[in-house]
């Protein structure tokens, strides 16, 4: 029996080309490559230095004369202008949206239960149906620990169940930590620590390719938004909506 491998390969390539699979894969790869390059450039020293110098020259002249609200608005507009001047229109619009989502949109009266609800809504919408059946569950967990005079809250999120092995546990996609002093009757706190894919976000500014949920969490973190820690109302349901 003779099998013509080259003929099989050629037929398969023709099929993939006809149904658009190859075109989609090329577009996806190009998008990932371009966005990765943009993210790298945005995180570079030269880019940050350029923004700092332009802001320094413009902001100081109006800081003393503007109210806080007007001042924040000016900063937002200035950042948009700088980004638009440094990049093409399409790219600058993406970066401008990221800046707006992360820095300039204000959230108030956010509860811990709201964060869990928002993640669940995002992961159910963003995950392909085939992946839901394969994974069955995702990570949607809250740990509350008493440590001396402090209460620690650790929230872990991932679009799959985290694995553990002899070398340690797998990092979640997103990990958020809060701390409250037990002598204070208030159950509110800003995010004390934030990890994205295992990377500690202190002293970092990320405006690359973000999910809607990541942009929301970064906004809360960078703006030091006070979160109502209603842990008793948190829903940790980790199951995708599928019929098993």
Is 119 a member of any domain?
A: yes
Q: Which two tokens stand for residue 128?
A: 């392909």
Specify whether 117 is located in the same domain as 182.
yes
Structural domain count of the chain: 2
Residues of the chain with pLDDT > 90, as a percent, come to 30
For residues 98-113, give the mean pLDDT: 76
Tell me the pTM.
0.59
What region does 58 belong to: left with phi over 0, alpha with psi -120 to 50, or beta? alpha
One domain for residues 145 and 186 = yes
Residue-range definition of the domain harbouring residue 88: 23-104
CA atoms within 13 A on the CB side of 232: 1
Q: What CA–CA distance (Å, rounded) separates 81 from 97?
A: 13
Q: Which residue has the tokens 């970092």?
A: 204
Q: Same structural domain for residues 117 and 229? A: yes
pLDDT band at 155 (very low <50, low <70, confident <90, very high): very high
Note whether residue 1 is domain-resident. Answer: no
Give the chain's mean pLDDT. Answer: 78
What's the pLDDT tens digit per position in 182-217? 877 778 999 999 998 888 887 666 555 678 898 889
Structure confidence at residue 18 as a pLDDT band (50, 70, 90): confident
Strands 110-111 and 227-228: parallel
Q: What is the pLDDT of residue 199?
A: 85
* 165 assigned to some structural domain: yes
Query: Are both 155 and 181 inside the same structural domain?
Result: yes
What average pLDDT does the segment 214-232 reach? 89
Domain endpoint, select from 104, 130, 158 = 104
């Amino acid at each position: 029996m003779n099998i013509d491998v080259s003929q099989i390969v050629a037929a398969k390539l023709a099929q993939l080309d006809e149904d658009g699979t190859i075109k989609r894969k090329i577009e996806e790869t190009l998008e990932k490559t371009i966005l990765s390059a943009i993210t790298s450039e945005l995180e570079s020293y030269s880019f940050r230095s350029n923004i700092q110098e332009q802001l320094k020259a413009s902001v100081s002249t109006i800081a003393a004369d503007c109210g806080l609200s007007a001042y924040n608005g000016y900063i937002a507009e200035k950042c948009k202008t700088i980004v638009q001047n440094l990049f093409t229109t399409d790219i600058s619009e993406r970066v401008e949206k990221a800046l707006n989502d992360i820095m300039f949109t204000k959230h108030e009266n956010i509860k811990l239960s709201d964060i869990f609800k928002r993640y669940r809504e995002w992961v159910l919408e963003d995950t392909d149906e085939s992946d839901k059946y394969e994974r069955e569950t995702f990570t949607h967990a809250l740990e509350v620990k008493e440590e001396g005079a402090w209460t620690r809250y650790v929230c872990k999120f991932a679009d799959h169940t985290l694995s553990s092995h002899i070398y340690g546990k797998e990092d979640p996609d997103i990990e958020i930590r809060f701390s409250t002093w037990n002598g204070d009757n208030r159950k509110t706190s800003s995010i004390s620590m934030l990890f994205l894919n295992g990377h500690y976000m202190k002293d970092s500014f990320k405006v690359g390719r973000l999910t809607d949920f990541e942009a929301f969490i970064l906004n809360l973190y960078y703006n030091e938004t006070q979160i109502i820690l209603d842990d008793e109302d948190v829903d940790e349901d980790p199951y995708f909506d599928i019929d098993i």
